[in-house]
Amino acid sequence: MKTFSKSDLLKSLPSQFFASLVGKVEKVKAEGYDVINLGQGNPDQPTPGHIVKKLQEAAANPVNHKYSPFRGFSYLKEAAAAFYEREYGVKADPAKEIAILFGGKAGLVELPPCLLNPGDTVLVPDPGYPDYWSGVALAQAKMHTMPLLEENGFKPDFSSISTEEAEKAKLMFLNYPNNPTGATADLAFFKKTIEFANEHDICVVHDFAYGAIGFDGKKPVSFLQAEGAKKVGIEIYTFSKTYNMAGWRVGFAIGNESVIEALNLFQDHLYVSLFGAVQEAAAAALLESQECVDALVSMYETRRNILVEGLRKIGWNIAAPKGSFFAWLKVPEGYTSEQFSDVLLYQAKVAVAPGIGFGTYGEGYVRVGLLETEERLREAVERIGDLKIFK
């Protein structure tokens, strides 16, 4: 059989670092060991029942058996606008300032090809979500990384970016609550971001995937709550984390009208919108009772406290995340992030994600997901403690 070569564009895509982690975990499990997997980012709870029921009802409607409108049903965009006004006090025009997405990841990867030409520069957080890199590669653009350092609260220091690099930049990715660090941002930071973006003519893309998940009584701040945000960028919201709808592949972008139009135009050539029943269920998620969200956040906070308190008791001096469902933990001296991850996997049968997989400045940390039961988290702490590494 003849083998056809991949295009140079496909060959330029970054390798999936975490595919190797999955392979390691599966190999240990295949050997008969019980692995507590804290290295993944896949929500472990089911989608709330009222959302599933809406999908089931909508799936029986013949209207939804046809092609949906190219740019999505207006009712879902109206629901997204109502959600943002209710939750954040942000008003948006459903027709011009909201685009329906096939999950948040789709929008994040689509944006660089929508807005950039080959050779343009993108400002990318390091450590950060690796799929930002994929969109940059597809646009044949260049990355300039913004270090997220603990001393800066894991937020970029815009003053450290040279004027030359800032003037080259056309796009910037941000993400708070942050994956992988669990850090949050306030309005003051977003105001600085808007000033920087205005000064250098940069489009800001705020990945708000974990927008619902804040701890210690503090609700995460939307980028669009900062004055002037819509002039310089957009926010991307996904249903995956807020409503445990990861497999449903639905999200939306909201903000700057020209960016929304670019996304819509790009998607016009790729899709004929989402299955209508999924759109109906998504609208119900946004508009109906949010008690399920409150319960979910409370559950993650309980899990966070169990993990953090337990690890501190065994001598691992770690900081508690302020948001998201991840904890970002410093590895002990003498180990790289990958070496320490291997020790935990092979000796304690606990899987975590090595920080280097999120960028150069992820070295020295591991990411732990709060996506196991309280009992399993306690057991993971016990297994790690038995290694006596922190004594």
**pLDDT number for residue 341:** 95
Contact by Cβ (8 Å): 349, 28: yes
Bridge pairing between strands 169-174 and 121-126: parallel
Structure tokens at 366: 């591991």
Instruction: State the pLDDT at residue 2.
Output: 87
Distance separating alpha carbons of residues 93 and 85, to the nearest angstrom: 11
Of 296, 317, 126, the C-alpha closest to 215 is 296
In the chain, where do the E strands start and end?
36-37, 98-101, 121-126, 142-147, 169-174, 203-207, 233-238, 251-255, 326-330, 350-351, 353-354, 365-369
- Structure confidence at residue 20 (pLDDT): 77
CA distance 252 to 385: 42
Q: How far is the CA of 299 from the CAs of 60, 172, 221, 303, in angstroms?
A: 34, 32, 20, 6
Q: Which residues of the chain have pLDDT under 50?
A: none
Residue with tokens 């400045």: 361
Amino acid at 189: F
Residue 232: both structure tokens together: 């310089």
Q: Using an 8 Å Cβ cutoff, are 229 and 192 in contact?
A: no
Beta bridge partners of 36: 350
Radius of gyration over alpha carbons of the chain, in Å? 21
Express each pLDDT in 96-155 by its tens digit: 999 999 999 999 999 999 999 999 999 999 999 989 999 999 999 999 999 999 999 999
pTM (whole model) above 0.85: yes
φ, ψ of residue 312 in degrees (nearest 5): -65, -35
pLDDT digits (tens, 9 = 90+) for 210-248: 999 999 999 999 999 999 999 999 999 999 999 999 999
End-to-end CA distance of the chain: 59
Q: At CA 196, angle to CA 191 and CA 202, rounded to 5? A: 115
In whole angstroms, what is the distance from residue 42 CA to residue 240 CA? 9
Q: Calculate helix-pair angle for 257-268, 104-115, nearest 10 degrees.
A: 100
Main-chain phi, psi angles of 174, to 5 degrees: -130, 160
For residue 185, is it left (φ>0), alpha (ψ between -120 and 50) or beta?
beta
Q: How many CB atoms lie within 10 A of CB 21?
A: 22
Chain mean position to CA 111: 15
- With H, G, I as helix, E, B as strand and everything else as coil, classify residue 172: strand
State the burial class of residue 96 (Cβ atoms within 10 Å of its Cβ: 0-12, 13-18, 19+).
middle
All domains of the chain in start order, with CATH: 8-46+291-386 (3.90.1150.10), 49-287 (3.40.640.10)
73, 95 contact by CB (below 8 A): no
